């Protein structure tokens, strides 16, 4: 393999008005950009799961206007780090809801058990499942972080992926 240095392999930043119809196309863009760099189909699948859930989250929690979606693959030693970041304005009640969900995820000692419990609880819910972010932790093996700044939700998911076996 030929090294290209320690800089980003891929970096994509989109600013857009979030619409549900865009999710599949944006997820496919992440797939197309990642495939040449990831040798393991399972890693690609987990990355795309996280991208899809974060894009759905933008649509669900956005209060209108522009949102941002940033995807990057960076070299870290002999590995790649995949990072997804979203940024969107949200209504105060939506921010309160997502803060509770994210704090509960962070406090869970076992993300898979927490996700399983959320699945059981969502069967009784009439207002969406709320499973997307928990699914990222339980199924994609990514770390998930967030912050809220002046009515804006910023979510970050990242993971170190396989050795850089593709050049």
**Burial degree of 149 (CB within 10 A; 0-12, 13-18, 19+):** exposed
Per-residue pLDDT of the chain (167 residues; tens, 9 = 90+): 334 455 558 999 999 999 999 999 999 999 999 999 888 899 999 999 999 999 999 998 899 889 999 999 998 888 889 999 999 999 988 888 888 888 888 888 888 887 788 878 777 765 656 678 888 888 888 888 899 998 899 999 998 876 554 44
Tally of CA atoms within 13 A in the half-sphere of 8 that contains its CB: 12
Query: Could you tell me the residue range of the domain that residue 84 belongs to?
Result: 8-90+140-163
In a domain, 13, yes or no: yes
Tally of CA atoms within 13 A in the half-sphere of 20 that contains its CB: 2
Q: Is the pTM of this model over 0.75?
A: yes
Query: CATH number, domain at 63?
Result: 3.30.565.10
In a domain, 29, yes or no: yes
Report the domain count for the chain. Answer: 1
In a domain, 117, yes or no: no
């Amino acid at each position: 393999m030929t090294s290209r240095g320690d800089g980003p392999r891929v970096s994509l930043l989109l600013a857009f008005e979030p619409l549900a119809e865009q999710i599949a196309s944006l997820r496919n863009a992440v797939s197309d950009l990642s495939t040449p760099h990831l040798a393991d189909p399972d890693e690609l699948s987990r990355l795309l799961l996280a991208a899809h859930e974060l894009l759905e989250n933008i649509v669900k929690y956005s209060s209108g206007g522009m949102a941002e979606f940033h995807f990057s693959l960076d070299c870290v030693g002999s590995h790649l780090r995949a990072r997804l970041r979203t940024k969107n304005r949200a209504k105060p009640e939506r921010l309160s809801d997502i803060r509770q969900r994210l704090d509960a995820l962070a406090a869970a000692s076992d993300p898979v058990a927490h996700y399983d419990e959320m699945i059981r609880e969502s069967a009784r819910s009439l207002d969406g499942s709320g499973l997307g972010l928990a699914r990222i932790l339980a199924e994609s093996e990514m770390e998930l972080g967030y912050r809220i700044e002046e009515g804006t939700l910023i979510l970050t998911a990242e993971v170190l992926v396989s050795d850089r076996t593709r050049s």
